[in-house]
Amino acid sequence: MFQVPTIADLNLGLTLPALSLALGACVLLLLDLFVPRERKEITAWLAMAGIAVSFVLNLAGFNESGTAFLGTFAADQFTGFLNIVILITAFLGVLLSLDYLKRAKIERGEYYVLLLLSAAGMMFMSSANDLIVVFIALELLSIPLYIMATFRAPDLKSEESGMKYFILGAFAGAFFVYGAALVYGATGTTNLPEIFAAVNGIIAAGGSQMFLLLMGTGLILVGLGFKVAVVPFHMWTPDVYEGAPTPVTAFMSVGAKAGGFAGLLRIMVVALPVFVLKDGQTAAAWQQTFWLVAAATLILGNIVAIAQTNVKRMLAYSSIAHAGYIMMAVAAAGTAGVANEATRAALLYLMAYMFTNLGAFGIALAIEKDDGSDTGVDNFIGLAKSKPALAAMMTVFMLSLTGIPLTGGFVGKWFVFKSALDAGLVPLAIIGVLTSVISAFYYVRIIVNMYLKDGEGDPAAGATRYVNWAIYVAFAGTLLMGIFPWIATNLSDTVVLAVEMFVR
């Protein structure tokens, strides 16, 4: 007969942060019906309350680890850290949207529901311990984003942005499923730790299942590579980022990356770290490919960004370049013994990127006009005169994106480069340093425009109260992480994804 599981079997306590956010989204959907049309900011505040509840629950259970739902959900510090990143992103995303939606006359309660659902998808992604959960969380992350990108409809740019994102997202999803199917075919299970256990046997047997595993890993990389926008799967990024409403761009540029890299790290580090083509190798078979992808992403993202004249497009290429740095850490995780250090580096980088990037998009949003125009690099000319505080904060964000010491970006890069060196990927680390220098060209250009060029100075009409709050939070986070890095590093001190191998 049915073996009805008890609540204790399901281990619900560990899943509370993600579940409470999902539940919050559903409750918000109902409450929104009672919010009058002209007072939709109430919905936004309720959404922020939901995020805050989830955040508190996440901190309360931060150091607990274990699995829930009988092995399909893993909660550990990796999850906890990523949840912090995701929840802050969602919180700042709501703050940035509040006035923007009103200005653009697209204020609808559903927006916040979709934002919460997408954030819940990211959180499920960060704790997914099964290929099926990774897939379904990936889709829960993406589908609300397609809709949010189209939120300015019937504005053509916004519709095109949503359409492109949708077609490439669906295409990438299909690649992911086929890859997952092949991995299932090779190992007979979709549970990540069980795949890990099965891989050793496959290598020992040396049969044709190796090829299935190889192709499956490749297709999963393609699927998630589209989501996190690494070369050669990046071409949708600039158009989608430019066309989508700016707060949506800010939210997706950080959130989708956090979710995508969470899935990539979990699959590669938990399930496939010992996947080598012949016995005795110390680096996983996928490391070479990841190495190449990271190098190509760094070079292309940073060089093409120089030519951009629109800030949103420039930040899009910059986000591609930053995906390259995180990819560098993922590649480093392929070396035996460096996996956990590299995972930590990727997490810290994501947190630094989150604060800095949300701040930069916040300022781009502040100088944007109501109809979504005037986001050129030239619109920053003279900003230091008209809005000195905003200009000063933008300077810090640009320096942090470049990776100058005393900013969060430097801390992130430090850990990433260190893990790459420890993994023996010296050429990749050199490419990383060189491209960081190149990136200074386009980041410093904005600073030069603000301070050294004469001009009217944009009135920054978009810098309303809530947008300012969001920018202050991002600014504080960037500096705090740069000056007191141990706050963030202590949060990730026991991140252990990989089972350290004794038999290889």
Partner 1 sequence: MLELNVQTLAFFVFALFVLGGGLGVITTRNLVHGTLYLILSLFGVAGFFVLLSAPFLAVVQVLVYIGAIAILIVFAVMLTRSMTSLHEVVNRQWVLSTIVAVLLFVMLTVTIILPVWGQDGSLAGQPVSEVVATTTDLGKALVDGNQYVLPFEVASLLLTAAMIGAIVIARDDE
Partner 2 sequence: MSVDIEVYIALSAILFILGAMGVLVRRNAILVFMSVELMLNAANLALVAFSRLWGGAEGHLFVFFVMTVAAAEVAVGLALIVAIFRSKQSIDIDELHQMEG
The entry of partner 1, partner 2, none that residue 264 binds, CB within 5 to 8 Å by partner kind: none
Strand 73-75 versus strand 66-68 pairing type: antiparallel
369 makes contact with partner 2 (CB under 8 A) = no
Separation CA 269–CA 262 (nearest Å): 10
Note whether 243 binds partner 1 by CB under 8 A: no
Q: What CA–CA distance (Å, rounded) separates 229 from 319? A: 8
8 binds, among partner 1, partner 2, none (CB under 5 to 8 A by kind): none
Q: Restricting to residues 237-256, which ones interact with partner 2 according to CB under 8 A? A: 238-239, 242-243
- Number of shown-chain residues binding partner 1 (CB under 8 A): 52
Please report which residue ranges of 266-387 form alpha helices under DSSP H. 287-306, 311-332, 339-367, 383-386
Q: Which two tokens stand for residue 203?
A: 């290598």
Here's the x/- map for partner 1, 60-99, by CB under 8 A: it reads as --------xxxxxx--------------------------
The tokens of 116 are what? Answer: 């919460």
> Does residue 185 belong to the site contacting partner 2 (CB under 8 A)?
yes
* Pair of tokens at residue 166: 């949708």
Cis preceding linkage at 36, omega within 30: no
Residues 224/176, Cβ–Cβ less than 8 Å: yes
Does residue 134 touch partner 2 according to CB under 8 A?
Answer: no
Query: Between 47 and 177, whose beta carbon lies closer to partner 2?
Result: 177
Are 408 and 400 spatial neighbours (Cβ–Cβ below 8 Å)? Answer: yes
Residue 1, strand partner residues? none
Q: Which does 459 bind (CB under 5 to 8 A by kind): partner 2, partner 1, none?
A: none
Asked if 382 and 460 count as a contact pair (C-beta separation under 8 A), the reply is no
Site string for partner 2, 460-489 (x = CB under 8 A): ------------------------------
Q: Is 237 in the site for partner 1 (CB under 8 A)?
A: no
Q: 285 near 217, Cβ under 8 Å?
A: yes
Q: What are phi and psi of 471, to 5 degrees?
A: -65, -40
Position 151 contacts partner 1 (CB under 8 A): yes
- 29 counts as binding partner 2 under rule CB under 8 A: no
The contact set with partner 1 (CB under 8 A) reads 2-5, 9-10, 15, 22, 25-26, 29, 68-73, 108, 110, 113-114, 117-118, 120-121, 124, 130, 132-133, 136-137, 139-140, 143-144, 146-147, 150-151, 153, 162, 182, 185, 205, 207-209, 211-212, 214-215, 218
